[in-house]
Copies of this chain bind each other. A is one copy, B any other.
Amino acid sequence: MVDILGIGNAIVDVVARADDTFLSRHDMHKGAMILVDAAQAQAIYAAMPPGQESSGGSAANTCAVAAGLGARVAYIGKVADDQLGTVFAHDIKAAGVAFPSSPLVGGAPTARCLILVTPDGQRTMNTFLGACVTLNEADVDEALVASAAVTYLEGYLFDPPAAQAAFYKAAAAAHAAGKQVALSLSDAFCVNRHRAAFRELVAGHVDILFANETEITSLYEENTFEAAAEATRRDVSLAALTRSEAGSLIVRGAETVEIAAAPATVVDTTGAGDAYAAGFLAAFTAGRTLDICGRLGSLAAAEVIGHYGARPEADLRNMLAAVR
């Protein structure tokens, strides 16, 4: 019996500070996540400044934050049986998240994401998926899905080919058990790569949608946030749309709730959206109002963007109780 079950790409982050000229020299699009192969990852790493390694992965970050906020959380994702896989498994378990997935033996190494953080706090990500490409239907434990109030899926899962089947299996198992399915669109470039699949998924299989402004306007190919928000309202029963320092907008049927961003010093925006979803879902599965859900999301995001890395550094235990 868990509140939130996350399914995603299990990734170790390598975070380094870089200036804008590093991004342009390596043809990187600031703020985006691109997929790289092993050779590209090696070349980028060789050129990168000294880094700090820490566990990442979008849905895994959400799980770690939600567990810190007091929710009961489990996570499904694929690491390899190597040193970085050990780091990932240690960190998510130490964060209080159940992690039943067995590591891949004798295949690709644990996935890593090479993240360049520019002085403006923006992060630019280069992901080598490694062992994640083997995540498939067999990794989805239907009994675990059926026991979760919300099964949370990251859009990035549409990149490794076999994971889409895992995605649909999890959604079907959740709905068969009368539970809910949440999706984060993850990244505007990811939405571009998989727009048709996402549109079908959102309309037919998702109960709670998380997206930021560029992702949601890309999904519905609308020119304005307002038009995209109305398209979302027609398509999905509940959505939380984030707009960085402009806060977030929650739509549910005819209902609209506007949430202000929590005050924050921007050091590194890595994981901001993941933390927002964590705060939202931790409050939602605790039966709180949409206003509290959005405000806890904003507070959790503010904690994560105030330091380097996507996992929380502060003790979050009393954060939900403090939201009134």
Contact = CB atoms under 8 A, between A and B. Distances in A.
Nearest to A82: B83
Contacts of A82: 82-83
A91 B17 contact: no
A46 interface: yes
A49 interface: yes
A79 to B, nearest CB: 12
Contacts of A313: 17
Nearest to A16: B94
Interface stretch (A31-39, A51-59, A100-108, A171-179): A51-59
B45 A50 contact: no
Given A48-B94, A83-B109, A54 B53 contact: yes
Given A17-B313, A83-B109, A313-B17, A94 B50 contact: yes
Nearest to A90: B45
Contact of A309 (B49, B52, B311): B52
A179 B51 CA distance: 33
A252 B91 CA distance: 48
A162 interface: no
Contacts of A94: 48-51
Contact of A90 (B46, B54, B64, B109): B46
Contacts of A50: 54-55, 64, 90-92, 94-95, 311
Nearest to A313: B17
A98 interface: no
Most B C-beta atoms less than 10 A away, residue of A50, A52, A87: A50
Nearest to A42: B86
Contacts of A282: none
- Counting from the closest, the 8 A-B pairs by CB-CB distance are A53-B53, A50-B91, A83-B83, A50-B94, A52-B54, A49-B94, A50-B95, A83-B84
Given A17-B313, A46-B90, 16 more contacts: A48-B90, A50-B54, A50-B90, A50-B92, A50-B94, A50-B95, A50-B311, A51-B87, A51-B91, A51-B94, A52-B52, A52-B309, A53-B54, A53-B87, A83-B83, A83-B84
